Structures are given as C-alpha cells and as structure tokens.
C-alpha cells in the first residue's frame, strides 16, 4: 500500500508540473471561484466545509479533517469575452492626438477553451498532525483579438494608420501555485493550519504598440514573448466548532511580492511588477440534519494592493507613464465575493450540490478602455455538482458552472476621444475529479 501511494503521488506531481498553469478568463475578478470539483459544485463555499485535499487552497486548517487523501481533477473552461465601441470624437483630445482609441464595431476574443488541472494530497502523520501538498492554477486572464488587414487597414490594426491595438492583440496571464501545508488539530473539531506557497506567473502581450508614446520603456511594452515571474507567500487558516452543527472557517493570505516581468517593464507599473493581491475568507457551515449542509463564504480580494492592477488609466493624460513607479494600470477595485452552497447526501453513495455566487464589480465604468484586454466583469455564477462513491475508498465528482452574461458600459477618457465602449463576458465550466482516501 505504501509503495502504491508513493507511486500515485509521484505520478500526480509529475503530471501537474508538466502541465502549464492554463490561461483563464475570470471568475471572481481573475481569481478562481473554487479550487476543487466538490467546492465548485457549491459555488466555492468551502472555507468551513473540508471534504477533499484541495481544501488547503481555501483554508489550510481544513486538511486536519480530511485525513489521508489524493485528488486528481481537471476542468474544461469556456469563456466568451469581447467588446463593442462607438465612434470616437475629437473634442478634448490630448495634444498628442486621439490615438490610441478603439475602432467602432463589435469584436470577440479568440481562444474559447482552456484546461485547468488540479492535484491535491494530504497525509495524516498522527492523530493531531497533518500535512498536504496542492498544485493548481490560482487565476489568470486571456484575450486574443485578431483584426484582418483586409478589413481594417494595411497595418492590420483596428484604427488604420494609428492603431489602438495592432494586428493580433491580447494578453495572457497564468498563475501556478505549489502549496505545502501543515495543520494541527487542537480539539476534536478545532484546528489551525499554515501553508507555504511558491508561485510562478507567466505573461505575454501583443498588439499594444499604439501605447508606445505613453510608455516609460517602449521597447518592453508589447510583443516580447512569454515572460515569467516568481514569488513565495503564505496562507494561514483556522477551523472551529462554534455551536453544535455550526462550523467556522477563516483564512488569509497577504500580498505576495513577485519578481518583475522585466520583458514588460514598459507596461506594468513599477518597472514590470505584478504582485498577487492579498485575500481573505470567512465561512460558515450549518448542518441542520446528518445528511444536509448549508455553507456560506464571504471573501475579500484586495486588488487595490497592486498598482499594476489598481492604478487608473487616466494617469496617462496627466503625464504618468506605463511602467513607471505609480504608473497607470487597469483601474480595478477591491471586491467582495459572497458564496452560498447546499449539499445533500441522497443515499450512502451519492451526494448532490448546488450553489450561487455573487461578487461586486472590479472594473469601474471609467476604466473600460484598457480593460478591453481584461474584461473580468462577471458578477454572478450558478453551479451544480455530484459525488458518486465508486469503491470503498474512492469517489468521482463532477461539477458544472455557468457565469451569467455581464457587461460594463463606459467611455474612453476624453483625451482618447471619449468613445462609448462596452466590455462583456460570460462563461461555462465543466469539471471532474477522482478522489482516493487511504
């Protein structure tokens, strides 16, 4: 049995490292809604409801109630994102002209399918001590607009002779987390946990040469291929029984300082720095009967911590340069995420789940111009899932998610022509997981 477990874990880790952190569009901003198939069936409401080894990605303390377990899962993700733009005016344009500005029309991003793998492992060391390892995609963003030269001008851009985005345009941000966890159980229903997280980001951007005049380093703005950024962070968590049938889970991860994307030092504020925002969650799990659970999570994501994400684009019109200290970014604001899930054991082998999540809007109407590249506007998700026990110590889970269509309407800044712009997104996800408890 020991050799079998070692082989399974080694194979799982090798497979995860071989797979890239697949590019996502968005869920809660650009973070994932949940990190396991079971969690996703309940719209991510899991901070106080540990059920598989991936709980450590939400709340490290939860592994003390999972025991020894291996989870292998993958999600198919279909995001449909795009934008529409009206005609830009000329009144109020900056002295440098009205370029960059979007061409009138409606455009959809190419690349509508992604695979998102996850692997989790937990091991009971003693009655009170547990360790775990998880490998997963934390979040990301991908857009890819293509403008044929035959229809938009010789340069292939949406604005002939002065492109806002030139030719094939978009960004691709991927985040891979490798998380090692220790948890200790202090009482029958209480535990504390700590995770060390090693993160790697990859990023590429194309078609942004129209912003060259606004960059502190135009040679490191666009078309530099794939760049990487690494960092180390941590997450702390606790799980407590506050009343019979009511559990509380709480976890927090501070801002993770990442190395700079040197190849894109002319795009991201601070010479290419793109840190991972602080985030925290508080959850409750209420068990009215032995077969039912109602779970609720409140999550806060602090996008304002990171200048490259939070600084508004309007600074370009007051002399701030892309890539400079305090330079313009995507103008995102902090968000609150509310997740509600219901679970019922239909019989000894089948458990069903449904969920709903709502988050506040990260992108203000005043920031739609730059967020054509990152239309993370989804606010509502509905989910459903089921787990079937296939053998004495094994189970298979599936979950489905639908991100309801959402749009944000605004205008480009007057200095960029003031064109009306709408950015939009809706998404689907279908996920499966095999779990083995040993």
Sorted by where each begins, the domain ranges of the chain are 22-437
Helix (H/G/I), strand (E/B), else coil: 227: strand
Give the whole-angstrom CA distance, residue 267 versus residue 275: 14
Which residues partner with 10 through β-bridges?
A: none
Calculate the CA 11 to chain-centre distance: 26
pTM score > 0.85 for this model? yes
Helix (H/G/I), strand (E/B), else coil: 156: coil
The mean per-residue pLDDT over the stretch 341-360 comes to 97
- Tell me, what's the pLDDT at 96? 52
* Pairing mode, strands 420-437 and 69-85: antiparallel
With a cut of 50, say whether residue 359 has pLDDT above it: yes
With a cut of 90, say whether residue 8 has pLDDT above it: no
- Tell me, what's the pLDDT at 423? 95
Better-predicted residue by pLDDT, 405 or 315: 405
- Tell me, what's the pLDDT at 243? 96
- Residue 392 confidence class, pLDDT cut points 50, 70, 90: confident
With a cut of 60, say whether residue 216 has pLDDT above it: yes
- Tell me, what's the pLDDT at 397? 98
* Pairing mode, strands 246-253 and 227-243: antiparallel
- Tell me, what's the pLDDT at 319? 87
The mean per-residue pLDDT over the stretch 204-230 comes to 92
Domain boundaries 22-437, corresponding CATH code: 2.40.160.60
- Tell me, what's the pLDDT at 302? 97
The mean per-residue pLDDT over the stretch 340-350 comes to 97
- Tell me, what's the pLDDT at 89? 64
DSSP string, 106-129: EEE-S---EEEEEEEEEEE-SSSE
What value does the mean pLDDT of the chain take?
Answer: 88
């Amino acid at each position: 049995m020991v050799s079998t477990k070692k082989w399974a874990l080694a194979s799982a880790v090798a497979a995860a490292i071989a797979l890239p952190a697949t590019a996502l569009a968005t869920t809660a901003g650009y973070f994932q809604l949940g990190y396991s198939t079971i969690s996703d069936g309940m719209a991510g409401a899991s901070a106080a409801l540990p059920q598989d080894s991936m709980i450590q990605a939400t709340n490290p303390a939860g592994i003390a109630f999972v025991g020894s377990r291996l989870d292998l899962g993958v999600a198919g993700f279909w995001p449909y994102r795009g934008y529409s733009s009206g005609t830009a005016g000329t009144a109020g344009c900056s002295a440098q002209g009205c370029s960059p500005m979007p061409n009138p029309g409606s455009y959809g991003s190419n690349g509508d399918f992604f695979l998102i793998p996850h692997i989790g492992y937990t091991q009971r060391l003693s009655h009170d001590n547990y360790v775990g390892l998880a490998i997963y995609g934390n979040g990301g963003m991908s857009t890819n607009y293509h403008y044929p030269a035959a229809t938009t001008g010789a340069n292939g851009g949406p604005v002939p002779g002065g492109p806002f985005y030139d030719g094939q345009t978009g960004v691709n941000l991927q985040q891979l987390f490798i998380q090692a966890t220790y948890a200790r159980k202090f009482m029958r229903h209480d535990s504390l946990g700590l995770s060390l997280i090693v993160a790697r980001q990859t990023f590429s951007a194309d078609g942004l040469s129209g912003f060259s005049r606004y960059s502190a380093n135009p040679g490191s703005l666009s078309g530099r291929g794939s760049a990487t950024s690494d960092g180390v962070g941590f997450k702390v968590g606790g799980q407590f029984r506050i009343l019979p049938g009511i559990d509380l889970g709480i976890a927090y991860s501070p801002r993770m300082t990442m190395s700079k994307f040197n190849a894109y030092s002319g795009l991201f504020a601070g010479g290419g720095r793109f840190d991972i925002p602080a985030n925290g969650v508080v959850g409750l799990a209420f068990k009215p009967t032995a077969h039912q659970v109602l779970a609720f999570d409140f999550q806060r994501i602090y996008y304002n911590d990171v200048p490259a994400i939070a600084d508004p684009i309007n600074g370009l019109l007051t002399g701030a340069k892309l890539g400079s200290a305090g330079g313009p970014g995507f103008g995102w604001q902090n968000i609150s995420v509310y997740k509600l899930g219901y679970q019922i054991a239909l019989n000894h082998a089948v458990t069903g789940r449904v969920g709903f999540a709502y988050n506040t809007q990260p992108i203000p109407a005043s920031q739609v111009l730059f967020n054509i590249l990152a239309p993370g506007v989804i606010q509502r998700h509905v989910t459903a899932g089921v787990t079937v026990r296939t053998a004495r110590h094994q189970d298979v889970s599936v979950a489905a998610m639908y991100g309801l269509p959402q749009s944000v309407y605004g205008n480009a800044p007057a200095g960029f022509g003031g064109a009306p712009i709408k950015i939009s997104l809706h998404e689907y996800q279908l996920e499966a997981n095999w779990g083995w408890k040993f």
